[in-house]
Amino acid sequence: MDDLYRDYILDHYKQPRNFGELEPHDLEAHDHNPLCGDEMGVHIRVRDGKIADLRFHGQGCAISQAAASIASEEYVGMPVDDVGQLDADWVIDLLGIPISATRRKCALLNLKVMRGATTGDASWPE
Partner 1 sequence: MATSATTPRLHVRSDFPIFAREIDGRPLIYLDSAATSQKPAAVIEAMDDYYRRHNANIHRGVYTLAQEATDLFEGARERVAAFTGAETATTIFTRNATEAINLVAYAWGRANVGPGDVVLITQMEHHSNIVPWQLLCQGTGAELRYLDVSDEGTLSLDQLDAELAGGRVKLAAFAHISNVLGTINPVAEMASRVRAAGALSLVDASQAVPQIPVDVAAVGADFYVWTGHKALGPTGIGVLHGRRDVLEAMPPFLGGGDMIRVVDWQESTWNDLPWKFEAGTSMIAEAVGLGAAVDYLGELGMENVRAHERALAAYALERLADVGGVRVIGPPDPDERGGVISFELEGVHPHDVAELINRQNVCVRAGHHCAMPLMRRLGVPATARASLGPYNDASDVDALVEALVNAKKVFA
CB 24 within 8 A of CB 47: no
Phi, psi for 64 (deg, rounded to 5): -70, -40
Identity of the residue, 6 or 17, whose beta carbon is nearer to partner 1 in the bound complex: 6
Q: Which helix (H) or strand (E) holds 53?
A: strand 50-59
Q: How many CA atoms lie within 13 A of 44 on its CB side?
A: 29
Identity of the residue, 38 or 92, whose beta carbon is nearer to partner 1 in the bound complex: 38
Rounded to a whole number of angstroms, the minimum distance from the CB of residue 122 to partner 1 is 10
β-strand pairing of 27-32 with 50-59: unpaired
Identity of the residue, 85 or 100, whose beta carbon is nearer to partner 1 in the bound complex: 100
Rounded to a whole number of angstroms, the minimum distance from the CB of residue 73 to partner 1 is 22
Identity of the residue, 24 or 101, whose beta carbon is nearer to partner 1 in the bound complex: 101
Rounded to a whole number of angstroms, the minimum distance from the CB of residue 25 to partner 1 is 23
Which residues would be at the binding site for partner 1 (CB under 8 A)? Answer: 2, 4-5, 10, 32, 34-39, 59-63, 65, 100-103, 106, 123-124
Rounded to a whole number of angstroms, the minimum distance from the CB of residue 98 to partner 1 is 12
Closest by CA to 69, choosing from 46, 98, 38, 40, is 40
